[in-house]
Amino acid sequence: MPGRSGTVGPTAKDNRLFVEAVLYRYRAGIPWRDLPERFGDFRVVHIRHARWSKKGVWQKVFEVLLQESDNAYYMLDATIVKAQQHSAGAKKKP
């Protein structure tokens, strides 16, 4: 994760908490101002998110995660397929 060593200002203390805040915000579908207090000031989280987006940090993170994915979420369960066929309203065979 990026740090700011050698630049003005402190290096980020807790990248994990910041990433959790961003994921929580998108998962819950809430505006930035509704982030729980445990994540800190929502304005700081939003500004940092915007900086990471502008610098392409999120793109790099997702590319790394994509390389390490196992694509297990692409698998279909037979019960889902069967339920869909039977719940479509087709006439039953005699």
Tokens of 57: 């940090």
Q: Is the Cβ–Cβ distance between 40 and 47 less than 8 Å? A: no
pTM (whole model) above 0.85? no
Which pLDDT does position 53 carry in this prediction? 94
Domain ranges of the chain: 15-86
Which pLDDT does position 66 carry in this prediction? 81
Which pLDDT does position 16 carry in this prediction? 86
- Over the chain (94 residues), what is each successive 10-residue block's mean pLDDT? 58 80 92 94 94 92 81 58 57 66
Helices (H), the chain: 15-28, 42-55, 57-67, 78-86
CB atoms within 10 A of CB 35: 20
